[in-house]
Amino acid sequence: MEAIFFIILSIIIIFSSMMVILKKNPIASVLFLILALFSTAAMYVMLMAPFIAAIQIIVYAGAIMVLFLFVIMLLNLKKINEGGAVTLKILGVIVAGLMMVVTAVVLRSVAIPADSGFLRSSPEGFGTVENVGMTLFTTYLLPFEIASFLLLAAIIGAVVLAKKKL
């Protein structure tokens, strides 16, 4: 049962991720990106991390993607201009191919040992709100606080930039 869900979700994620870059219409790209992020959230549910799944939907599929749609609609981009020189396309293919070769080599060289914890199933109550909160506010308190300060600075910066007169 789990395998079937995994395969279906993977197909959706791969398909929609490809459509993000293949679609000419930026709105369609964003909508496919939303689909990809939603399916990723479903993956998190299967990995026993419902909290992360909800966060994924709220932050990415909800807030950030709505902002993306907003900006694209405001700029009123209808279609990305086609064309571009043939040499550019050839160059793109070469770079992408090299990238794939590099990734394949790296992935092959990193053999994951069976007891590394990557392949172990997660312990009971692994992704619950309580456990995520506990880890975040004890072990990773400093990074968490630094990240919040960074976001605060970003918010203040955005307000300062947007408002001509404070």
Residues of this chain that interact with other proteins (CB under 8 A) are 27-28, 31, 34, 50-51, 54-55, 57-58, 61-63, 65-66, 69-70, 73, 128-129
| Alpha-carbon span 64 to 43, nearest angstrom | 20
Least CB distance to other proteins at residue 81 (A) = 19
Alpha-carbon distances, residue 157 vs 65, 141, 151, 161, 163 (angstroms): 21, 24, 10, 6, 10
| Alpha-carbon span 65 to 132, nearest angstrom | 25
| Alpha-carbon span 34 to 16, nearest angstrom | 9
Query: Whose Cβ is closer to other proteins: residue 28's or residue 91's?
Result: 28
Rg (CA), the chain: 21
Least CB distance to other proteins at residue 112 (A) = 30
Which pair of structure tokens corresponds to residue 26? 């930026």
Least CB distance to other proteins at residue 157 (A) = 17
Least CB distance to other proteins at residue 10 (A) = 22
Query: Whose Cβ is closer to other proteins: residue 66's or residue 99's?
Result: 66
Query: Whose Cβ is closer to other proteins: residue 17's or residue 27's?
Result: 27
